[in-house]
A and B are shown apart, each in its own frame.
Chain A
């Protein structure tokens, strides 16, 4: 096409940012082609199974595997005696196989590799274990008393960790407060319920290199940590992430089944795949940590918050995983949800013989926000100030640094509050909702949250690497260290690259599942992937764009700054006239005397800082804010609390993929409603009583209310195109808004979750909250 031609093709500038882009991996998943760990088969593969204890707290005297070994089809049986048992987990109190004692229901005694899964499980049933039972302890308060059974003797007591944080002077502030309130809140065990259950496949090659097909959310930390646990140098371990059927934080730590699969594969000399069934998923995958929160707060008559004083007891269960570290995030909420000049926070993490907790979407923030936002409604009533007004009066503002040192370069808290409430009709509805039948009562409640919006710097690097490679036809392969766990990171990263390069989205292929191929990343957690991996991908794409435009400029004899790339064509920036096809520029670079290809890399490290010893510092480069308004209908004859509508406003910085961000909010709301209304892992004397979907009630489609969403675009300066992370935020402030709405409807303040019909009904009849231990 001649440049002088009047009919020259012109391409207008367009943008992908903010559009509704279906997941690029959607068709593969929806047609059943995607290979999950349950579908993956390797040549000569054996099937692993785990023999778990039937005790709660006991010394192991002997393990007899003779009958299991003689079962036809069994290839290998291992016990603690057969492996080098390296302690692991955040408290270094977990082992792949337990040799000396068991401390909780899920504990692993032995493992089998066999020709079929049925044979492996049958062999596990043939393993005989002799125990000497030890006195158990199931209550964190009991476990703290002198003379309580000590679960990990080396520690001397049942307190692996304590967390203390403070800013200001709480005692002085209390003296100056006009109103002081105290409440105790109880938060239950819940669990992730990933639809794809846990699994792993371990295989050694002929040179002793280990390949793990794993569902980890943190492949590079996993490679390092697994190395230590199984005694194989990290450079000999390759982690390939099979498609993950749901994460939500459950795959952030290494759990015993993973090193067990490695030990089995090593012993058997064959690949071993080990899968959990649903019952195992309920009893042997991590939980959200149950917490008791004693919270005091104070305010001046005009509603100015004066102090917050939080004392938490944290049931850490029989061993230690990431659940023990969630106070780290809880304290963000107590210190920085609204402006509070004086804060004290103390958490005692206590071992019991209950299940142990890991990380779960929100990482402690759901528990903390439930307490803070429930109590704020009480405070508003006590002060005679409208609840929204109380929150607006204490709202954080842009440019502020919170008492904990979190610098709010942008802050949408006030706008979230105003938008969610005005859209929901708060002013007309609060205290005034009418129900269509006399036995029904309706109410409305609100709650807000603050959460990290660009990762949390808990390791020396919170970064992510990207390699971007062009082929001769202007297809681009994005190699990113970040992981797709279903949330849509693959799509949003491809969008970012396509946006920068000016090529169609279908020209971008994303590789994000193999430590042998992709650059380092710290993992999927802390709502960091869009922000951190997005900035990394953007940096690599900008370098590639600069190189391509410079090559095109030379070919066209035009200044690079007068050129642009649109829909895979190099165009004149001014009017969009097509000058040369991008693939041709790449081929000219490649096959001309330059002999260059287009491969760029970028490592992005956020500007955040690790917190100091007092837990202070700007731990994330940006912070996400959100407000949820929930309307409910309470049936006073059945105790059923029915959510009618959720109006959500989230400061997301900027919307990148509108379809994806809506999915995050809707999914988070569903998880938050489950937490508030139906979900509880019922643990009695250390044993899970409801390890199935019949008795562990998730929210299903008919219960899901309308979700109205508003996105507040504050344009985070450091975010990719201004975006903040949003993965965890929508789950966080659902439950307190629910409880506040139930109070508005009924006048009953419920401080314990879930708000299930039985307890709501008894509480309505009693005219006060009835706790589970008081129930018949």
Chain B
């Protein structure tokens, strides 16, 4: 068995130290070892985006991202998108209120992809908005309401 590597990273605002295998995927660290089951795996090949998390604010497929690469970085999963004053987080709220959730399996990854997009593109074009979640697959909604939610987040210009 190859030697384990000790890493420390910040996950949802908390410092985490873990010993990881060189080939261990970030999604396994999150789901299996830290119990962060909100991150879903839909294909494990980087095709569907269900396992999307943020690493230093950038959306990545955690099924392809080595856990060891998280060392010294900040990881945000859906559990880390907390709202304030008992409210849902604005991105979660937009998805729920605008009907962008059906079976919900793709939703956490979709929300994180959308949240990263609005952070990186404060003034996106309509075409950019339509392409904002192109790496994430949803079989239920037809994407119309997902794009509505992205547009609301853009319009709200949420402070972070």
**Contacts A31-B92, A662-B145 known; A36 to B105 CB distance under 8 Å?**
yes
Judging by beta carbons under 8 Å apart, are B143 and A244 in contact?
Answer: no
Smallest CB-CB separation from B77: which chain A residue?
A32
* Cross-interface CB contact of A667 among B47, B96, B142, cutoff 8 Å: B142
A700 proximity list for chain B (CB < 8 A): 134, 137, 143
Distance of A667 Cα from B103 Cα, bound (Å): 11
Cβ contact within 8 Å between B142 and A666? yes
Q: Is A669 an interface residue (CB 8 A)?
A: yes
Q: Does A668 contact B (CB under 8 A)?
A: yes
- Interchain CA distance A231-B110 in the complex, whole Å: 43
Q: How far is the CA of A35 from the CA of B104 in the complex (A)?
A: 11
Interface string of A293-319 (1 = CB under 8 A from B): 000000000000000000000000000
In the assembled complex, the CB of A728 is this many whole angstroms from the nearest CB of chain B, namely 14
- Say yes or no for A54: interface residue by CB 8 A criterion: no
Alpha-carbon distance A702/B128, docked complex (angstroms): 9
Q: What are the interface flags for B55-91 relative to A under an 8 Å C-beta threshold, 1 for contact and 0 otherwise?
A: 0000000000000000000000111010000001100
Residues of B contacting A486 with CB < 8 Å?
A: 102-104, 140
How far is it, in angstroms, between the C-alpha of A693 and the C-alpha of B50 when the chains are bound? 12
| Residues on the A chain within 8 Å of B147, using CB | 701, 704
Closest Cβ–Cβ distance, residue A101 to chain B (whole Å): 32
B103 proximity list for chain A (CB < 8 A): 29, 194-196, 243-247, 485-486
B142: A residues at CB distance < 8 A: 663, 665-671, 699, 704, 707
B38 touches A701 (CB 8 A): no
CB distance from B105 to the nearest CB of A (A): 4
Please state if B134 and A195 are interface contacts (CB–CB under 8 Å): no
Q: Are B145 and A701 in contact (CB under 8 A)?
A: no
Q: Which residues of A contact B130 (CB under 8 A)?
A: 701-702, 704
For the complex, what is the distance from the CA of A343 to the CA of B137, rounded to whole Å? 41
Q: Considering the chains assembled together, what is the distance between the CA atoms of A659 and B144 in angstroms?
A: 12
B contact residues around A667 at 8 Å (CB) = 102, 139-142
The answer, among B92, B101, B139, for a CB contact under 8 Å with A195, is B139
- Write the nearest CB–CB distance from B115 to chain A, whole angstroms: 12
Residues in A with CB closer than 8 Å to B39 are: 32
Asked if B37 contacts A248 (CB within 8 A), the reply is no
> Are B139 and A702 touching (Cβ within 8 A)?
no
Query: How far does the Cβ of B137 sit from chain A's closest Cβ, in whole Å?
Result: 6
**1/0 contact string of B34-50 vs chain A (CB within 8 Å):** 00111111111101101
Inter-subunit contact A30/B99 (CB<8 Å) = no
Q: Are B102 and A488 in contact (CB under 8 A)?
A: yes
Point out the residues of chain B lying under 8 angstroms from A244, CB to CB: 103
A487 to B77 Cα, complex, angstroms: 25
**B118 interface residue, CB < 8 Å from A?**
no
| Complex interface: chain B residues within 8 A of A35 (CB) | 37
Q: Which of A30, A36, A668, A704 contacts B96 (CB 8 A)?
A: A30
Indicate if the CB atoms of A663 and B79 lie closer than 8 Å: no
Task: Using A32-B79, A700-B134 as known contacts, say yes or no to A693 and B48 having CB atoms under 8 A apart.
Answer: yes
Chain A interface residue count, Cβ-Cβ cutoff 8 angstroms: 56
Known contacts A36-B105, A700-B137, A663 near B145 by CB under 8 Å: yes
Distance of A669 Cα from B38 Cα, bound (Å):
28
A408 CA to B68 CA in the complex, in Å? 64
Does A109 sit within 8 A of B, measured CB to CB? no
Query: Measured between alpha carbons, how far is A663 from B140 in the docked complex, in Å?
Result: 8
Q: Which residues between 66 and 96 of chain A lie within 8 Å of chain B, taking CB atoms?
A: none
A704–B131 Cα gap in the complex (Å)?
10
Kindly state whether residue A39 has any CB partner on chain B within 8 Å: yes
Query: How far in angstroms is the closest Cβ of chain B from A768?
Result: 33
Interface pick from A18-26, A128-136, A174-182, A611-619: A18-26
Whether A692 contacts B45 by the Cβ 8 Å rule is yes
Residue from the set B40, B78, B106, B144 with the largest chain A CB neighbour count within 10 Å: B144
Please indicate the chain A residues that have their CB under 8 angstroms from the CB of B81 in the complex: 31
Give Cα A707–Cα B38 distance, bound, in whole angstroms. 31
Docked-complex contact A30 and B95, CB < 8 angstroms? yes
For residue B146, CB closer than 8 A to chain A, the reply is: yes
Asked whether A422 is an interface residue with its Cβ less than 8 Å from the other chain, the reply is no
Which of A22, A698, A704 touches B97 (beta carbons < 8 Å)? A22
Docked-complex contact A196 and B42, CB < 8 angstroms: yes
- Asked if B116 is at the interface (CB within 8 A of a chain A CB), the reply is no
CB-CB nearest in chain A for B45: A692
A152 at the interface (CB under 8 A from B): no
Tell me if A694 is interfacial: C-beta within 8 Å of chain B.
yes
A729: min CB distance to chain B, Å: 14
Instruction: Given the known inter-chain contacts A666-B142, A669-B142, A702-B131, please indicate yes or no for A487 contacting B102, CB distance below 8 A.
Output: yes
Residue-wise, chain A 21-57 has the 8 Å CB interface mask toward B (1 for contact) of: 0110111111111111011000000000000000000
A24 to B, closest residue via Cβ: B96
User: What residue of chain B has the Cβ atom nearest to residue A28's Cβ?
Assistant: B104
Which residues of B sit under 8 angstroms from A245, Cβ to Cβ? 40, 103-105
B101: which A residues are within 8 A, CB to CB? 23, 26, 29-30
Is the CB–CB distance between A196 and B43 below 8 Å? no
Given known pairs A485-B103, A662-B99, A701-B143, the reply for A693 and B78 (CB within 8 Å) is no
Asked whether, in the complex, the Cβ of B99 is within 8 Å of the Cβ of A196, the reply is: no
Q: Which residues of B contact A689 (CB under 8 A)?
A: none
Query: Out of B78, B98, B139, B144, which one reaches A194, CB within 8 Å?
Result: B139
**A/B interface sample: 13 pairs, CB < 8 A:** A26-B104, A28-B104, A31-B79, A194-B105, A245-B104, A245-B105, A246-B140, A278-B43, A659-B99, A667-B141, A693-B43, A701-B130, A701-B143
Chain B residues with CB under 8 Å of chain A are 36-45, 47-48, 50, 77-79, 81, 88-89, 92, 95-99, 101-108, 111, 130-134, 136-147
Name A's B-contacting residues (CB within 8 A). Answer: 20, 22-23, 25-36, 38-39, 192-197, 243-248, 277-278, 485-488, 659-660, 662-663, 665-671, 692-694, 698-702, 704, 707
Closest 8 CB pairs of A and B: A32-B38, A29-B104, A486-B103, A666-B142, A245-B105, A670-B142, A693-B47, A32-B78
